[in-house]
Amino acid sequence: MSTPDAAVMEFLLTRRSRPAKTLGAPGPDRAALAPILHAALRSPDHGKLEPWRLMVLERGALDRLARAARTRGAALELAERDISKGAGQFDDSPLTVAVIAAPKPSDKVPEIEQICSAAAVCLSLLNAALASGWGANWLTGWPAHDDVFRRDALGLAPHERVIGFVHIGTETVAPPERPRPDPQEVVTWLSA
Ligand SMILES: Cc1cc2nc3c(=O)[nH]c(=O)nc-3n(C[C@H](O)[C@H](O)[C@H](O)COP(=O)(O)O)c2cc1C
């Protein structure tokens, strides 16, 4: 057994997201974000296909995406509340990293495993941001799943999907507690 790392376990046992709406400026600058991105990319990846990519969305891009979400939401005839929610995550965020799944053709690694790898990147990114002292939140919402928004606003190829928008900024209020699962309820032990 290798040496236990109590600080990492303590982090994992107490970690929690900070709601995107409560994040303030500043977000990390490029130098501060670099190790966070680096950590995110050190994620499990069957076959070393690297079936993902990251897009860092700075203020100008976030403003453009908020406008695009309002235009697209109106074209979809969404309720005003849903349009505001979809656009608001870009309006409010100090900095956003979009985690994009980009599955590769493979006989060996099913697409579901490649999507799982992209989700692992997303969680590692979130945890690395939190461990670095930033507030962070993994959101999606309809802009992540609308094919026209994905193509026209984010420039994604047809086979690419948004796994998450990870919003990163400065914590402004104490994060709310969130009920956590009871291991007794969801863990089954099989001994034979
Ligand atoms: C794939 C995915 C998408 C999510 N999208 C949203 C979202 O659009 N809006 C939202 O309020 N929470 C969303 N969440 C939930 C939050 O990111 C997060 O689970 C919640 O805030 C608690 O996170 P924590 O366990 O890190 O504290 C999403 C979570 C996942 C895994």
H or E element, residue 163: strand 161-171
Tell me the β-bridge partners of 68: none
> Mind listing the domains of the chain with CATH numbers?
17-171 (3.40.109.10)
pLDDT the model gives residue 175 = 86
State pLDDT tens for residues 136-187: 999 999 999 999 999 999 999 999 999 999 999 999 999 888 999 999 999 9
Closest CA to 120 of 15, 50, 175: 50
pTM (2 decimals)? 0.98
d(CA 57, CA 17): 19
Distance 24 CA to ligand 1 centre (A): 18
d(CA 147, CA 150): 5
pLDDT the model gives residue 176 = 83
**Residue numbers of the chain with a pLDDT score lower than 70:** none
Residue with the smallest CA separation from ligand 1 atom 5 is 139
Question: Does ligand 1 lie within 6 Å of residue 22's CB atom?
Answer: no
E-only strand ranges, the chain: 23-24, 52-57, 95-101, 135-139, 161-171
Left, alpha or beta for 129 (phi > 0: left; psi -120 to 50: alpha)?
Answer: alpha
Distance 140 CA to ligand 1 centre (A): 8
pLDDT the model gives residue 137 = 98
Cα 173 to chain centroid distance, Å, stands at: 21
- Per DSSP, 154 falls in state T
Atom of ligand 1 nearest to the CA of 123: 31
Question: Does ligand 1 lie within 6 Å of residue 180's CB atom?
Answer: no
Question: Does ligand 1 lie within 6 Å of residue 165's CB atom?
Answer: no
